Structure 1
Amino acid sequence: MDSAASLPFADLLILELASVLAGPQVGQFFAELGATVVKVEPPAGDVTRTWKTPAEPADTDVSAYFSCANWGKQSLVLDLTTAAGRAAVHGLAARADVVLASYKPGDSEKLGVDYATLALLNPQLIYAHLTGYGPDSGRAGYDAVLQAEAGLMYLNAAPGQEPQKMPVAMIDLLAAHQLKEAVLTALYRRARTGQGTLVQVSLLDSALASLANQAATWLVTGHDPRPMGSGHPSIVPYGTVYAAGNGRSLVLAVGADRQFRHLCDALERPAWATEARFQTNDARVAHRAELEALLRQRIGEMDGDALLQTLEALGVPAGAVRTVGEALTRESGQGMLLPAPETGFPGLRTVAFRSPDWPQMEALTPPPHLDEHSGTY
C-alpha cells in the first residue's frame, strides 16, 4: 500500500454503534478503504465475541464470528446508560462523518444516541440505522427468522424435504450491502449539498429485495415458486449437483443452447443436443426429469476432474463443489484474504472490488480486544 491517505475514505471517521453482523460488516468495509472506525461496545462487549465453535480457544474475546466483521477497528467500551457514556459518544458523534446503529426503534432515543439528538451536534452527520422490520416496528430482527419469513427458507429445500436456512447469515449480509449503498448515496449527496441525513435499512426489506426472479415469478404469474433444491426454475441444467465416478461432485450452469451442445460433446453424447425434448432451454425445462436422469447416469460414469477440464476448454460453465477451506486455499481465493498479523490468523476481506486509482489495503489491524483503545478518544 502506498499510504493510508491515498485510500478513498482515509479522511472519514465512522462511529460504529452497531453489533452482531450487518452493521459491523459495513464498518469493516469502510476500514478496508482507509476510514478510522471506532467501535463502541457495551461493558459486556459485542455479543458475537462469545459465539464460539468448540474448536476455538476459550481464553480470548476475539471469536471467529467476531473476527469476520471487525478487522481494522478500534474498540471503546462506553456505558450509554450513564451520563458519562452518553457524553463520550456525543463528543465522538460531533466530529464523526457516519454513525452506524442497529438499535430497535425507540432504544436509541432512550440512550440519547438517536439521529435527532446527534444531528443537533453535527448537522453534516450521516446516521445509518439498521432495524429488523423497519422504523415503526419494535420487533427484533434475527437472520434465521427473516430467512423464514421472507420466503427464502421455503425455497431452500429439495422437493419434499424440510426447508433449510442458508449456512451463513445471508439476510444480515444482504442488509449490510443495502446499508453500504445507503451510506455511499448519502456521502455523495453531502458532497453536493453539505447536508447530513438519516438513512434507514431493515432486514426484512433487504430480504424481500433479494428475491429477484423468484418474486417476479409470483408477481407475473400469481403462482408461488416451488422448492427445487439447488435446481433453477427456468434454466436446465443449472445448479443441480452431480456425483462423478471418481467421487467429485460438480455443478453445471448451462444457460444457452450452444453451451448445452458443447456439454453433450464433452459427455460424448452429441445426439442429446439434437433431440426435440432437449434442443432448446424451454424444451429442457419441460423435460427436466428425463434430462437430469440421463446426466446423473452419464456423469456418474466419468472422471469428474477430467470432465471439468474439458468443460472449461469448451466454454461450458461448470465447477467443483468445494469445501470452504478448499475455496480459500486455492490460488483464486488468496486475494480475498487479509494477511495474518505476527501472532494470529488471517482475515477475510469485505471489499471485493479493485481500482488502479487507489491501492488495495494490504494489511489491516486484527479485530480488537474489548476496550483495547480506551483512552484514545
Structure 2
Amino acid sequence: LLRQKIAEQGYRASSQEVAAAIAGLDFLQTDGRFDIAKYEAFLQQQRRAQGEFERLMREDLTQGQFRQGMTGTAFVTKDEAGRYQALRNQQRDLELLTLKAADFESGISIPDEKVQEYYDQNKAAYMTDQRVRLAYVDVDQSKLAADVEVNDEILQNYYDEHVGQYVTPESRGVSRILLSLEPPAQEETVKKKIDELYQAIQSGEKTFEDVARAESDDKFSGAQGGDMGEDIVAGDWDPAFEKVVFSLEANSLSESFRSGSGYELVRVNTIKPSQQKPFEEARAQIETDYRNAQAEELFVDRTETLQTIAYEQSGDLTPAAQAAGLQVQQSDWVSATQGEGIAANPKVRAAAFSDPVLQERKNSEAIELAP
C-alpha cells in the first residue's frame, strides 16, 4: 500500500540523490572520500547487481521523501490543539497505598508438618532435571589437518600434481556505459538510446569517456569516464556482463547488450593473461590444500572405523576409539535442555537422552556436528 501511494503521488528519488546517498555511506569511504573499489567489492560480496542495489537505495530514499512530506505538511485543528493543551496542563491529586507481602511474613508461623504436607502434595514442583555425563569420541577434521606431516618435498610433489590450481586468473580492465531499466524507463526507449550512443562513439562523433560522464546511470564509473576502477575476474560478476567482457579483444568496444543492470556498452582497456604461480609464491596455499586433502581422507577412514566398531561393540567406546587412533573424552553434567562443549549441540543431547543410549547404555550413531 505504501509503494502504491508513493507511485500515485509521483515521489521518486533522482539518480543524483541515489549516487550521493551511496557515496555518503561510511563503509564505502577511504580517507573521507568515496572509494569505487570498495563499492564494487561490496556488491560482489553481497552478490548484488549494481542496478539492483541502486534500486533498493532509491526505494528507501523515495519512502523517506514520502514520510517527510507527510510529517512536514501535517496540521492540527484549533479544537485538537485546545484539547491537547487542556490535558497537558491538567493536574490531579491522588492518594497511594502500597501493600508489600514481605511486611506480613514476620507474623506468619508455619508448623513443620504443614511444610511436609505441602511438599508431599507438590513433589513434582521440586524436581531437578535428569542429568548425565557422556563419554564421546570427537573426529575433528581441522585437528587432523593440523597433525598432517609436511615438508618441501611432499608439497613440491603435490604442486606438480595439481599445478593447474595455482594460477593467477585472467583479468581485464573495463570501462562501461550503463542505461538502467528501472521504472519508469521503457525497454524499447532505452535500447534505442544505447544503440544511438554506440553509433555516436563508433563514428567518432563522441568519445566513450564523454558519453559515460553524460549518460551512464552508473554514476561512479561514469564520473571516471566509464572506468570501473578495478580489473574484472570471471566468476564475480553478472554472467551476461562477463560473457561480453571476456569475448572482446583489448581496446575494443562491444555492441549494446542486456545485463542484469540494464543495457550496456563495455570497452576492454587492458588484458592481463592468466599466469602460473611459482611454487614459493603459492607455498602457503599449497600447504593448506595438501593438509585439507589428507585430513579429508583421514576423516572418512577414521569415521568409518569408529562407526563400525562402535556398532559391533556397542556399550563401550574404548575399542572403537583405539582402532581409530582417538581418545575417549568425558563431558560435564548434561541435561536434556542444557549442556556445554559438544553437549551445547541439541543433536548430541537428543541422542544422549534417547532410549537406546540412556536406558540400554548403547553407543549412539555418529552425529555430524558441522558440515
If the length of structure 2 is used for normalisation, what is the TM-score? 0.21
If the length of structure 1 is used for normalisation, what is the TM-score? 0.21
